[in-house]
Structure formats: structure tokens, C-alpha cells
Amino acid sequence: MKKLLSLIFISAALTAVSQPKKAPKMAPITEPGYYVGKKNDTVRGQIRVNPDDITNFYKSFEFQPAKGGKLMPVDMKKARAYGFGDRHFIAIPYDGGEIYVERIAQGRLNFYKYRFNGKIDGYPAVETEYFAQDTRAEGEDAGLKEVRKISTKFYKKELKPYMKDQAMIWTDLDKFTFSEPAVVNAINEFNNFYTVTAD
């Protein structure tokens, strides 16, 4: 009897140990959203808003058409832009490929961010890069119409050509410390000078 019990115990223990340790995954949560296809067609449906990795939003997204079906992955080959809620992403060329960047300020000056898995101080972490675009740049500043990367170390110097028309806003930015909310507020304040209002 002891041998039978010990055999059952050992087999149960081996079975439990041999099971693969899978990380638990959350059930998909979706919100109404859209994507813009390569032919400028807008497709509406549901977008998954809780990916397993937060940086997935910048590579691809999961989409369920409005007419039904299951969630399917969509990437830059199929969609130029997408959005849900108050978040909007566009595809831009980057390092020989394409990435999605999230628009965090919109107007004359567009400000975008890109998040990816990297290392900060030698430890694995989510890093963020920022990009700017002047939608009304002309003449010698016409190059500012392209989406360009902005360094967080020298961001004030790099934002100067974008904000030179409203220098008092640019001078209020902290020279030494980059703060995303402060930069977004400054860009939104800058954009308010160029908002068209109906009389």
C-alpha cells in the first residue's frame, strides 16, 4: 500500500513539474476604433486596447471588423494609421523600416512618441523617443514638414526652429530636464496661435 501511494505521489509530482509554465494572459479588451488602409480607405471596428506588451501599439495592433469575426493582427503593410478613444497612431519611416508613432499634440506642430523595449541604466525598460513635424513649414524651413526625431537630452535646442515664431513659449521650457507634459503643453499653447476659428 505504501509503495502504491508513493508511486501515485511521485507520478503526480512529476506531472505537475513537467507542465510548461505559461505566463497568464489577459482576455482581450476592445474599444471602437479605425484604421486607414494603404488606399486611404477607413475601416471601422474594434481594436484591442490591452496588448500583452504595451510596446506592441508601436509595431502592430489587433483589429476586429465591425461586421464581426475574430481579432486579427494588422501591421504597417495593411494600415497607414489607426486609432481608438483619444489615441491616434501613424506609420513613419524609421531605421530602414516603418514604425507607428502616437500623436500626443496636433495642430501646426505635431508631436509624436514611440515606445520600445530597451535598457535604461543597464536594466530592461520601456524607452521613449519623440518626433516633431511642422505642418506649415515653408521656404528654408520646408524640411521641418518631415517627421523628425527630437532628442530628450537636447530637446530645447532641437525644438527651437519649430517654435521660433512664438519664441516666448520656447524660452519657458526647462533647458536641463525634459518633461513630456511640459513639452506637450508648450506645443499645444503654440498651436493655439494658429487655430482657425469661425466668426
DSSP state of 189: H
**Whole-number pLDDT of residue 166:** 85
**Whole-number pLDDT of residue 61:** 93
**Whole-number pLDDT of residue 28:** 83
Give start and end residues of each alpha helix (H) in 101-196.
155-163, 167-171, 180-192
pLDDT at 3 over 80: no
Retrieve residue 199's grid coordinates. Answer: 466668426
Strand 60-65 versus strand 97-105 pairing type: unpaired
C-alpha torsion 29→32→37→43, nearest 10: 130
Distance of CA 64 to the CA centre of its chain: 19
**Whole-number pLDDT of residue 5:** 59
pLDDT in tens, 11-51: 666 565 566 666 666 778 889 999 999 899 999 999 999 98
Residues 6+ apart with CB under 8 A from 105: 111, 184, 187, 188, 191
Q: Structure pTM?
A: 0.81
**Whole-number pLDDT of residue 27:** 78
pLDDT in tens, 108-158: 999 999 999 998 888 999 999 999 999 888 888 888 889 999 998 889 899
d(CA 126, CA 118): 6
Task: Tell me what the pLDDT averaged over the chain comes to.
Answer: 86
Retrieve residue 197's grid coordinates. Answer: 476659428
Q: pLDDT category, 9, cuts 50, 70, 90?
A: low
pLDDT at 58 over 60: yes
pLDDT in tens, 163-173: 888 888 888 88
Residues 6+ apart with CB under 8 A from 34: 42, 43, 44, 45, 82, 83, 84
Residue 137 near residue 144 (C-beta atoms within 8 A): yes
